[in-house]
Structure 1
């Protein structure tokens, strides 16, 4: 069994976004909104080439560069 969708919304999850997110290569949807998580967004998120939806908002922390997403050709919603 593989994880296709990861949704973490409107809860008190806090801490940095884990770099292990880049290991979830079968993900098609990643939705992390309304949490107390901090950035930066791990650069290896670009390894998630099967993503069709990526929604990350409400990150705490200073300004940060957004990872390159050029290889994520299946992306439909960002």
Structure 2
């Protein structure tokens, strides 16, 4: 069976709602967001990244964390808003 996992990257709010609506046909969703206030049965795992508004060095931490998530999850596609 092929890998049908989709990695969705979206900030909380309207962008997240739009991303989940666009991926409604996918059964295996891994979400990367800034808030953990998501409740959807199709989301298998949620990774939380840090907001970069207060500290510019957090960008570097998030870059390495993003590589970690990609290597660990090995998604078939990445969808970002």
Answer yes or no: same fold by TM over 0.5. Answer: no
More helix by share: 2
Using the size of structure 2 for normalisation, the TM-score is 0.31
Which of structures 1 and 2 has the larger relative contact order (alpha carbons within 8 angstroms, sep 6+)? Answer: 2
